[in-house]
Amino acid sequence: MSHVLIIGAGGVSNVVVHKCAQAKDTFSKITLASRTLAKCEAIAAAVKAKYGVEVATSAVDADNVAELTALIERIKPDLVLNVALPYQDLHIMDACLATGVDYLDTANYEPPEEAKFEYKWQWAYHDRFKARGIMALLGSGFDPGVTNVFTAYIKKHLLDEIHELDIIDANAGDHGLPFATNFNPEINIREVTAEAKHWENGAWQITPPLAHKRVFDFPQIGEKNIYMMYHEELESLVKHYPEIKTARFWMTFSDNYLNHLKVLENVGMTSIEPVLFEGKEIIPIQFLKAVLPDPASLGPRTKGKTCIGCVAKGLKDGKEKTVYVYNICDHEACYAEVGSQAISYTTGVPAMIGAMMMLQGKWHQAGVYNMEQFDPDPFLEALAQYGLPWEVKEL
Ligand code: NDP
């Protein structure tokens, strides 16, 4: 019986709130707070209509630590589940420290003025969280999140040593629009246009954005082009599994998506440097976000599947072995269940499960942790139960 405070009322939040309502034995009280109250109220109304569960709502600017601290003190939640944007992470962690409440997020902190994904800022909170006797669980989405747990599962059950890890993310969904991103456009484009970084022989190798391309044959989807890029879970995985010699992250992009992105980049629309427009400073990528479709609006029109998983090569009983652990998720089935497309769904379900693990005490320790630092089994069991079953294949 616990009270969860969910921050942010976007695409992922909609799924988290629906899923917490489905697990009312654990989440007996739900409060949803975000910058725009009307968005919280719309999600609360949908959940009330579907499950008869009441969701309390509140307006909050999570970048204002004093305001958020006052809200936490007033409603006294057991856990703060952050599904706002990466820019808010440190402010929300500060409010959790001030009030002594556990914290969870799905994406690592990123300074607004620099497109840099790194855990160092959040890992630096470890001693303070430990001393306060509270826990922070970082990156409890799909990737990062489930991909970290798949890696922990591979290490626990399938391989004695992991030498090569490829995390491969396919979105084979079609929304029928010329160009749209399937989660927050600003965060998505910052990530895709960044230099690719992968781990090779004990060091990070930097290559130009999307310069490495391969073809991968996905179960139920078929062959797709995949492109190497940097993704934040690589940093924690190579830290926690020093035996990994090579770690890479790959994502599918259609030629159409890449052509649009190239043009937008070439004309300067993806830049995060401010420009002067009619006497006012604007940031091109933020303007671009305003004119692109809201990812939440893609739900009713997206068809097809996602497939995200880990291919790991290593040793089992002294022999070389390659295993593939993955999930397949269907956009239309997600929409029918919770009114969101599969990208929000595959992020929101693991966010709820991470919170469930913490609140049930299955994953609980004071300090700041990544997903692979806990027992993968109870998490994966609950993940399958709440809509994201997974498969294991030997390649
Ligand atoms: P959206 O843009 O749809 O939603 C973000 C929400 O946060 C909005 O409701 C927004 O408010 C709110 N917000 C922004 N700033 C503040 C603030 N200062 N105070 C309070 N609320 C604020 O994003 P998504 O739902 O697509 O993504 C949510 C998070 O999930 C992101 O951090 C993203 O990086 C992460 N993610 C993680 C994935 C994973 O697999 N690990 C995959 C996909 C996403 P408003 O409505 O007023 O703008």
Question: Which atom from ligand 1 is nearest to the alpha carbon of 144?
Answer: 41
Residues 60 and 25 in one domain: yes
Residues 123 and 165 in one domain: no
Question: Which atom from ligand 1 is nearest to the alpha carbon of 13?
Answer: 25
User: What pLDDT, on the 0 to 100 scale, is given for residue 374?
Assistant: 98
Is 385 part of a structural domain of the chain?
no
Q: Which residue has the tokens 């005490």?
A: 361
CA torsion, points 238, 239, 242, 247, in degrees to nearest 10? Answer: 0
> 80 CB under 6 A from ligand 1?
no
- Taking the C-alpha atoms of residue 261 and residue 101, their distance in angstroms, rounded to an integer, is 41
- Nearest residue CA, atom 13 of ligand 1? 84
Is 37 part of a structural domain of the chain?
yes
User: What pLDDT, on the 0 to 100 scale, is given for residue 189?
Assistant: 87
Is 380 part of a structural domain of the chain?
no
CATH of the domain at 209: 3.30.360.10
Q: Among 18, 34, 232, 310, which is best to mutate for testing ligand 1, by the most ligand atoms less than 8 A from CB?
A: 34
More confident: 61 or 181: 61
Q: Among 41, 89, 183, which is best to mutate for testing ligand 1, by the most ligand atoms less than 8 A from CB?
A: 183
Residues 272 and 125 in one domain: no
Residue 115 has pLDDT above 80, yes or no: no
Residues 106 and 217 in one domain: no
> 83 CB under 6 A from ligand 1?
yes
Quick: pLDDT tens for 77-97: 999 999 999 999 999 999 999
> 61 CB under 6 A from ligand 1?
yes
Q: Among 65, 230, 306, 347, which is best to mutate for testing ligand 1, by the most ligand atoms less than 8 A from CB?
A: 347
Name the token pair of 163: 């030498």
User: What pLDDT, on the 0 to 100 scale, is given for residue 185?
Assistant: 84
User: What pLDDT, on the 0 to 100 scale, is given for residue 320?
Assistant: 98
**Mean local confidence (pLDDT), 13-29:** 98
Residues 290 and 198 in one domain: yes
Q: How far is the CA of 149 from the centre of ligand 1 (A)?
A: 22
Residues 89 and 189 in one domain: no
User: What pLDDT, on the 0 to 100 scale, is given for residue 192?
Assistant: 87
**Mean local confidence (pLDDT), 321-344:** 96
Count of domains for the chain: 2
User: What pLDDT, on the 0 to 100 scale, is given for residue 169?
Assistant: 97
Q: Which residue has the tokens 């303007």?
A: 287
Is 382 part of a structural domain of the chain?
no
Indicate the DSSP class of residue 195: P
- Taking the C-alpha atoms of residue 204 and residue 263, their distance in angstroms, rounded to an integer, is 29
Name the token pair of 220: 């139920």
Residue 1 has pLDDT above 90, yes or no: no
Asked if omega into 144 is within 30° of 0 (cis), the reply is yes
Give the lowest-confidence range in 8-22, 147-161, 176-190, 337-351: 176-190
Question: Which atom from ligand 1 is nearest to the alpha carbon of 91?
Answer: 18
More confident: 115 or 12: 12
Which of 67-71, 208-212, 283-287, 296-300 is predicted most confidently? 67-71
> 8 CB under 6 A from ligand 1?
yes
% pLDDT > 70, the chain: 100
DSSP letters of 12-81? HHHHHHHHHHHTTTTEEEEEEEES-HHHHHHHHHHHHHHH----EEEE--TT-HHHHHHHHHHH--SEEE
Is 379 part of a structural domain of the chain?
no
Question: Which atom from ligand 1 is nearest to the alpha carbon of 106?
Answer: 41
- Taking the C-alpha atoms of residue 103 and residue 133, their distance in angstroms, rounded to an integer, is 12
Is 225 part of a structural domain of the chain?
yes
User: What pLDDT, on the 0 to 100 scale, is given for residue 295?
Assistant: 85
CA 30 to chain centroid = 21
The backbone torsions φ and ψ at residue 196, rounded to the nearest 5 degrees and listed phi first, read -85, 140
User: What pLDDT, on the 0 to 100 scale, is given for residue 190?
Assistant: 83
Q: pTM score, two decimals?
A: 0.95
Is 383 part of a structural domain of the chain?
no
User: What pLDDT, on the 0 to 100 scale, is given for residue 182?
Assistant: 81
User: What pLDDT, on the 0 to 100 scale, is given for residue 183?
Assistant: 82
Question: Which atom from ligand 1 is nearest to the alpha carbon of 62?
Answer: 19
Residues 177 and 78 in one domain: no
Residues 187 and 327 in one domain: yes
- Taking the C-alpha atoms of residue 135 and residue 365, their distance in angstroms, rounded to an integer, is 6
User: What pLDDT, on the 0 to 100 scale, is given for residue 191?
Assistant: 84
Q: How far is the CA of 88 from the centre of ligand 1 (A)?
A: 9
Amino acid identity for residue 256 in this structure: N
Q: Is 109 exposed, middle or buried (0-12, 13-18, 19+ CB in 10 A)?
A: buried
Residue 187 has pLDDT above 90, yes or no: no
Residues 277 and 224 in one domain: yes
Question: CB-side exposure of 349: number of CA atoms within 13 Å?
Answer: 25
pLDDT band at 292 (very low <50, low <70, confident <90, very high): very high
- Taking the C-alpha atoms of residue 94 and residue 92, their distance in angstroms, rounded to an integer, is 5
Is 157 part of a structural domain of the chain?
yes
Q: How far is the CA of 84 from the centre of ligand 1 (A)?
A: 4
User: What pLDDT, on the 0 to 100 scale, is given for residue 387?
Assistant: 98
Q: How far is the CA of 46 from the centre of ligand 1 (A)?
A: 19
Identify the three-state secondary structure at position 181: coil
- Taking the C-alpha atoms of residue 35 and residue 8, their distance in angstroms, rounded to an integer, is 7
Quick: pLDDT tens for 218-238: 999 999 999 999 999 999 999
Residues 310 and 355 in one domain: no
Which residues span the domain enclosing 18?
Answer: 2-141+350-373
- Taking the C-alpha atoms of residue 292 and residue 177, their distance in angstroms, rounded to an integer, is 10
Quick: pLDDT tens for 360-392: 999 999 999 999 999 999 999 999 999 999 999
Residue 244 has pLDDT above 80, yes or no: yes
% pLDDT > 90, the chain: 91
Residues 75 and 174 in one domain: no
Rg (CA), the chain: 20
CATH of the domain at 29: 3.40.50.720
Residue 328 has pLDDT above 90, yes or no: yes
**Mean local confidence (pLDDT), 112-136:** 93
User: What pLDDT, on the 0 to 100 scale, is given for residue 212?
Assistant: 96
Residues 118 and 207 in one domain: no
